[in-house]
Amino acid sequence: MKFCYLLILLLNVAVTVFCADKYSRKDFPPGFVFGAGTFAYQVEGAAHEDGRTPSVWDTFSNGGGDVAVDQYHRYKEDVKLMAETGLEAYKFSISWSRLIPNGRGHVNPKGLEYYNNLINELISHGIEAHVSLFNYDHPQSLEDEYGGWISRKIVRDFTAYADVCFREFGDRVSSWITINEPNVFAQGGYDLGITPPGRCSPPFGIGHCYKGNSSYEPYLAAYHMLLAHASTVRLYRNKYQDKQHGVIGVTFFAIWLVPLTNSTEDAAATERAKDFFFGWFLNPLVFGDYPEMMKKIVGTRLPALTKQESELVKGAFDFIGLIHYTTIYVQENSESLKLETRDFTADAAVNMFLDKDDPFVIIPEEFPLRPWGLQALLEYIKQTYGNPPVYIHENGQVSPHNSSLEDTSRVKYLNAYIGSLLDAIRNGSNTRGYFVWSFLDAYEILGNGFEMSFGLYFVDVEDPGLKRKPKQSAHWYSNFLKGNIQIERENLSNPARQHLSQ
């Protein structure tokens, strides 16, 4: 970088552009961590082995992840592959029903052994352990007993589960994520019925709705997630953090949102969407209460935070995790507010588009390449929420599972988004780490199992050997992490203004 600055001084401004169009691993701040991630049900397999009991994900997918990619038996092989790739950190989740099969009480010694072995293997290879406590997979026994996240009882049981994890693993865990994507889990699992536990009510659910209340349960489940998260953070801070020196936070799904047109209606709708999709959780965590717009629209269906709960929730994080894949366009749909009965989607009162005429889908065949959206998202977090420490906990490109190992679109994606992240950091974003989703091809619940994949490494799930094969993106990321290459930036400008003028 000193050479770059010297050239700027000696030559002319054109060199500034040239230098800015290249980056390497060394350009990121000291302490910044790069890694990749997976989640338990998506990769572990061994669903009926060694004392594990079903989670709501097992039930919802009808056993689709029974084998997955068998990391339970192949963790040493996978950690060796991580080390060879150059990963500095691995983000994974603990299966609650593997560790505590009944949801509370008895701790399964085999589950304890597995996660100790995995963490020890990571540490022995110099790889940080970043651990999620929950990813759509509470024990089915708790769902059967009291309805899982629609009951306040889960706050107690989740905190007790977290206590076991902190006690048994916390001396070797760098970072804890309490709940992954609570905003998507609340909407998908309790409004639309497209994720576990599949609760919804007509006419709002997508597919079959056998039980639930789409008008109320998403807000109730989110309320209990906020309380469980805050209770867990308080436990960690009071009992473990001073000795273990880790950090704890929560991770949200965060597509960036821009107006579909230049109209004042679409601009207002975009701000409303930010309140519903970001502010739903971030406002209580930072300011102690929900956004005013959200309270006004949802009314009594939004469980109010008491003064004591507000004090518990406010500031209950060391970092905010973000899951970001692309940017979508927002159109005003205030007609939905006139409905006598509404769900979360109708309350948000927006239509969403991948492109001007294409409705938004959760997992398309390929995400549009809009790296400027990541920079805009991080600027929004900085300006709106006081620039908290941030980790990009998922970012990556989707493709059909059996596509070529020459995944040039994924390489182009990672190149562009990591470059945009560097731009955001240089502009003052307090981002501390970046994780590619995902390390391996994994069982994707919204991607029809193994039909769509995100992995740096291909796994042939039709082959009993489940051999891992590096894609071009694995080689690219490895060379980047090891500092072997200086990256030529993709020349991708922000097309939003052009889009809005059409």
Please give the structure tokens belonging to residue 23: 């980056």
Neighbours of 60 (CB within 10 A): 20
Whether 451 sits among the annotated catalytic residues: the reply is no
Q: What is the DSSP letter of 361?
A: -
Asked if residue 222 lies in contact with residue 148, where contact means CB atoms within 8 angstroms, the answer is no
User: In this structure, are residues 33 and 120 in contact, taking their beta carbons and an 8 Å threshold?
Assistant: no
DSSP state of 386: T
Cα distances from 298 to residues 184, 198, 205, 267, in angstroms, run: 18, 22, 18, 20
Q: What is the DSSP string of 415-477?
A: HHHHHHHHHHHHTT--EEEEEEE-SB---BGGGTBTTEE--SEEE-TTSTT--EEE-HHHHHH
| C-alpha to C-alpha distance for 372 and 494, rounded to whole angstroms | 6
3-state secondary structure 26-41: HHCCCCCEEEEECCHH
Burial class (CB in 10 A: 0-12, 13-18, 19+), 296: exposed
Task: Name the catalytic one among 44, 128, 181, 217.
Answer: 181
Instruction: Quote the CA–CA distance of 395 and 416 in Å, as a whole number.
Output: 11
Round to whole Å and give the CA distance between 263 and 268: 9
Tell me if residue 44 is catalytic. Answer: no
Helix (H) or strand (E) holding 312: helix 307-313
344/352 Cα distance (integer angstroms): 14
One-character DSSP codes across 156-205:
HHHHHHHHHHHHHHGGGEEEEEEEE-HHHHHHHHHTB--STT--B-TTTS
Would you say 239 and 208 are in contact if contact means Cβ atoms under 8 Å apart?
A: no
Residue of 121, 128, 168, 394 marked catalytic: 394
State the first-to-last Cα distance of the chain, in angstroms, to the nearest integer.
40
Give the Cα separation of 328 and 272 in Å (integer).
Answer: 14
Per the CB < 8 A criterion, the answer to whether 272 and 350 are in contact is: yes
- Phi and psi angles of residue 435, each rounded to the nearest 5 degrees, phi first: -125, 125
> Which class for 7: exposed (0-12), middle (13-18), buried (19 or more C-beta within 10 A)?
middle
Which H or E element spans position 123? helix 109-124
- Specify the residue for token string 């060391």: 318
- On whether the CB atoms of residues 178 and 134 are closer than 8 A, the answer is yes
Residue 373: name the closest of 339, 402, 413 by CA: 413
Catalytic residue IDs? 181, 394
